[in-house]
Structure 1
Amino acid sequence: MTKSTHTNEAIRAAMDHLIDRATHFDVDALETIYHRDFHTTLVMPDSTVQTYNKQEFITHFRKQTEEGKTQLNTWADWHDFHVLGDTAVCVLSRIHSGMNGEEMKLLCNIEFRFEDERWQVIREQIFLRPLSEG
């Protein structure tokens, strides 16, 4: 029997929470959302790659708050959810300007681990593309 915490709906709720807190630059919430072993890979439009660990990524959000940014675009297009045991993956597209200051389309693969009685983001792979690429 599937645990109520281990469903596509639970992953969608975890993603909704992540999007809400990240788009509002809530670094305190991000401390609990991102797993201690969190790692993100950003592939920029020119194919350069940026990587961040948990503290580096949270520092990126904190810097934007210090620069006066208050909220990013919350738009999301959901493509796939998959739960396998205490791991899960969500694939979605997003639009926002939080990574480089220019509104871009982000193609995202977000991996979760269920630990400490909650879903935590352990890995993000984000491909940034100009909005003109659709």
Structure 2
Amino acid sequence: MTVEAIRNTMDALIQAGSNFDIDALDRLYHTDMQIQMIDMEGNLNKADKQGFMAMFKGMAESATGPMNTWAQFNDITADGNNGHVLITRKNELGGSPSLLVLSIDLAFEDNRWQVIREVIFIRPDTGDYPGEEN
């Protein structure tokens, strides 16, 4: 239940999401997962695990290849069975090159870290973000 274990879970999540690995996402996402996403137009979209997985399945069907795996880990914390990650990502989740800032809550259950909530802010990737992948 360490920061390192949470980082490993996040690395697995990035790989699974970027490659549309639905089975891996199913293991990484908690049954009660909730998503709140503010898109580039300022619209709030909400989804549960089932809805978010359906979105990924649809994206997989139209994908021409994997999504960008670029990630800057801004902060990772662990407190008992709870974890939190603040991360900046570059990918095409919003339908075009996007910069995503995510606040991700994790719970340690069933002997593994699982994503219980993601809050996602999407904005255009103008290429001038000064952060570095780490």
Give the TM-score taking structure 1 as reference length: 0.91
Aligned to 2:99: 105
Q: Would the aligned equivalents of 1:33 and 1:119 in 2 still touch at CA under 8 Å?
A: yes
Percent sequence identity over matched residues?
36
Quick one: which of 32, 51, 54 aligns to 2:46? 51
Aligned to 2:132: none
Give the letter aligned to residue 70 of structure 2: W
Aligned to 1:3: none
Aligned to 1:91: 86
Offset at 1:68?
3.5
Distance, in Å, in 2 between the alignment partners of 1:44 and 1:66 is: 22
Distance, in Å, in 1 between the alignment partners of 2:103 and 2:87 is: 7
Aligned residues: CA RMSD: 1.1
Give the letter aligned to residue 47 of structure 1: G
Distance, in Å, in 2 between the alignment partners of 1:44 and 1:118 is: 30
Offset at 1:44?
1.1
Quick one: which of 8, 12, 29 aligns to 1:17? 12
Aligned to 1:82: 77
Aligned to 1:128: 122
**SS at the partner of 1:123?**
strand
Give the letter aligned to residue 71 of structure 1: P
Aligned residues: 128
Farther off after superposition, 29-38 or 60-69: 60-69
Distance, in Å, in 2 between the alignment partners of 1:87 and 1:48 is: 29
Give the TM-score taking structure 2 as reference length: 0.91
Offset at 1:85?
1.0
Q: Would the aligned equivalents of 1:41 and 1:50 in 2 still touch at CA under 8 Å?
A: yes
Give the letter aligned to residue 59 of structure 1: A
Aligned to 1:114: 108
Aligned to 1:33: 28
- Where in structure 1 are there 5+ consecutive unaligned residues? 1-5
**SS at the partner of 1:72?**
coil
**SS at the partner of 1:16?**
helix
